[in-house]
């Protein structure tokens, strides 16, 4: 049918392993998606890929199996600014999910109020060129002005090579600003080198900036296989993520990124991704901040 998934798209991992690492009580999967079903929630005509359907019920089953308590569900580009699938999932969650939506510059205050009522607490802007026709620099400023009364924050997704030209613009955003997947560092480079240093400087100079130390499977060249005797899946990503967690322990978040859109070479076992966490957050204090305190402060500030 019209919603055939993209060529080469891998189905998400059916039957993920149960993690060895026990998530702390109240942990939040702070980056995940729901897609479709395409017949009920059509994908955006201008999308760059067509995902497999991935429902709220399947997301919540994964949440329970992995040991998370809550989700932050993030609008992906395949649904554009049609947030109906996201809102449906939030309404089904019984208050255990919050959302990050995508809106256009002509969004009305009533539409924003409806999204807030459903549990949306932020807006997402995608600067990854393969995912959008044009980067949303102009609409971002207008939308930031509209969401200010709601106290929402901004989530941005960009690639490390684009940070130099976007640095000043991103530094001018007045809200809390959450960077997806550490701004996608090239992990074949030196974690102490100039490229990652620019991202660390961005976080040092802008104390409103948070980042998700998620998606090693997107960044890794060494991949999911742990060498004999070594415990590190995605071992080439560990130094980058660990550095961020240890320098900015109160401004990091973590998520599965289920159902992992656009992965072509392998589909990660979500249980394995959870077992990666202690490599990058080595103490129970850091784990609690990463998985419980920080996402709760940002998405459930009312403390429920």
Ligand X SMILES: O=C(O)/C=C(\C=C(/O)C(=O)O)C(=O)O
CA nearest neighbour of 124 among 146, 97, 103? 103
Single residue of 29, 176, 180, 275 touching ligand X by CB under 6 A: 180
Nearer Cβ to ligand X (70/124): 124
Which residue in this structure is represented by tokens 């530094």? Answer: 171
Whether 123 contacts 101, CB under 8 Å: yes
- 257 carries an active-site annotation: yes
Q: Does 78 bind ligand X (CB under 6 A)?
A: yes
Task: Select 36 or 288, whichever has its Cβ closest to ligand X.
Answer: 36
Task: Please state whether beta strands 177-179 and 209-212 pair in parallel, antiparallel, or not at all (unpaired).
Answer: parallel
Residue 260 near residue 267, CB atoms below 8 Å: yes
30 sits near ligand X (criterion: CB under 6 A): no
- Verify binding: residue 257, ligand X, rule CB under 6 A: yes
Q: What is the DSSP-derived secondary structure letter of residue 183? A: G
User: According to the binding rule CB under 6 A, does residue 256 interact with ligand X?
Assistant: no
What residues contact residue 147 under an 8 Å CB cut-off, 6+ apart?
112, 123, 175
Alpha carbon separation from 157 to 92, 128, 170, 177, 303 (Å, rounded): 27, 6, 11, 11, 27
Min separation Cβ 79 and ligand X, Å: 8
Q: 44 or 200, CB closer to ligand X?
A: 44
Interface pick for ligand X out of 27, 55, 77, 211 (rule CB under 6 A):
77
**Using rule CB under 6 A, residue 85 touches ligand X:** no
Q: Which of 29, 53, 180, 257 is catalytic?
A: 257
Residue 103 engages ligand X in binding (rule: CB under 6 A): no
Q: Kindly state whether residue 126 participates in binding ligand X, applying the rule CB under 6 A.
A: yes
CA distance 53 to 131: 18
Given strand 252-253, what is the order of strands in its sheet?
28-32, 70-74, 97-101, 120-126, 153-157, 177-179, 209-212, 252-253
Q: Is 71 in the site for ligand X (CB under 6 A)?
A: no
Residue in 34, 62, 72, 76 binding ligand X, rule: CB under 6 A: 76
Site string for ligand X, 200-219 (x = CB under 6 A): ------------------x-
Asked if 261 is part of the footprint of ligand X (rule: CB under 6 A), the reply reads: yes
Q: Which residues does the annotation mark as catalytic? A: 257
Site residues for ligand X per CB under 6 A: 76-78, 126, 131, 157, 180, 218, 257, 261-262
């Amino acid at each position: 049918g019209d919603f055939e998934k993209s060529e080469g798209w891998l189905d998400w991992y059916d039957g993920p392993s149960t993690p060895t690492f026990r998530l702390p009580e109240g942990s939040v999967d702070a980056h995940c998606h729901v897609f479709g079903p395409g017949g009920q929630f059509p994908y955006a005509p201008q999308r760059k890929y067509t995902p497999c359907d991935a429902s709220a019920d399947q997301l919540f089953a994964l949440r329970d199996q992995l040991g998370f308590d809550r989700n932050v569900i993030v609008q992906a580009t395949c649904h554009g600014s049609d947030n109906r699938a996201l809102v449906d999932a939030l309404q089904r969650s019984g208050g255990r999910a919050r959302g990050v939506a995508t809106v256009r510059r002509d969004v009305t205050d009533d539409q924003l109020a409806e999204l807030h009522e459903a549990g949306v607490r932020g807006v997402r802007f995608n600067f990854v060129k393969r995912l959008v026709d044009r980067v949303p620099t102009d609409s971002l400023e207008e939308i930031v002005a509209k969401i200010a009364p709601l106290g929402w924050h901004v989530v941005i997704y960009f690639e490390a090579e684009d940070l130099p030209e976007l640095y000043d613009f991103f530094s001018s955003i007045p809200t809390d600003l959450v960077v997806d997947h550490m701004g996608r560092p090239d992990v074949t480079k030196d974690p102490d080198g100039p490229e990652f240093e620019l991202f660390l400087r961005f976080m040092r100079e802008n104390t409103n900036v948070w980042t998700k130390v998620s998606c090693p499977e997107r960044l890794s060249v060494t991949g999911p296989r742990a060498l004999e005797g070594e415990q590190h899946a995605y071992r080439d990503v560990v130094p980058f993520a660990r550095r961020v967690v240890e320098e900015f322990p109160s401004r990091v978040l973590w998520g599965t990124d289920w159902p992992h859109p656009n992965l072509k070479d392998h589909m990660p076992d979500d249980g394995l991704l959870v077992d990666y966490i202690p490599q990058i957050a080595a103490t129970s204090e850091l784990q609690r901040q990463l998985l419980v305190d920080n996402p709760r402060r940002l998405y459930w500030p009312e403390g429920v």
